């Protein structure tokens, strides 16, 4: 039962975090074509004011719930080394932890990312993570 609840928490927190990245990259950024720089920043701030209250927390919940899930279903490493499932899950976890660390440093410690500062990078990583989260059970 606990696993099911944590798995659902993982999916919903990822839904919120990923949902913001999709909206920001696919829709909000497009507003730049129709608005002046000043107008765009003003409109974006109306949105970001609420995003900041929810999205960083959902990222942290996604990472913490993911850590619980991986400890529960990673399994033991066989004599032949890591299975394909374990390899893909490890890559997915690494990318997720990177996003988590990057987000926490940026939001809670004001430490800006050294590379890939825009929201395009986390967006691309989330798309890759979603694919890995499904492929890992098929290989």
- Residue 104 sits in the site that holds ligand HEM (CB under 6 A): no
- Residue 56 sits in the site that holds ligand HEM (CB under 6 A): no
Cβ at position 117, least distance to ligand HEM in Å: 18
- CA 81 to chain CA centroid, Å, is 28
d(CA 41, CA 29): 10
The 10 Å Cβ neighbour count of residue 115 is: 6
- Residue 96 sits in the site that holds ligand HEM (CB under 6 A): yes
- Of 29, 7, 10, whose CA–CA distance to 18 is shortest? 10
Residues binding ligand HEM (CB under 6 A): 7, 10-11, 14, 17-18, 59, 62-63, 66-67, 69-70, 73, 89, 93, 96-97, 99-100, 126, 129-130, 133
């Amino acid at each position: 039962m606990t696993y099911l609840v944590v798995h659902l928490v993982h999916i919903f927190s990822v839904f919120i975090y990923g949902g913001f990245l999709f909206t920001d990259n696919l829709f909000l950024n497009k507003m730049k074509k129709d608005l002046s720089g000043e107008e765009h920043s003003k409109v974006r701030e109306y949105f970001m004011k609420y995003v900041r209250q929810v999205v960083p927390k959902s990222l942290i919940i996604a990472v913490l719930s993911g850590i619980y899930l991986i400890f529960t279903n990673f399994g033991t490493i066989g004599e032949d080394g890591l299975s394909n499932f374990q390899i893909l899950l490890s890559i997915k976890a690494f990318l997720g932890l990177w996003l988590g660390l990057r987000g926490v440093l940026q939001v809670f410690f004001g430490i800006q990312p050294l590379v890939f500062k825009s929201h395009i990078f986390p967006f691309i990583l989330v798309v890759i993570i979603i694919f890995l989260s499904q492929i890992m059970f098929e290989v």
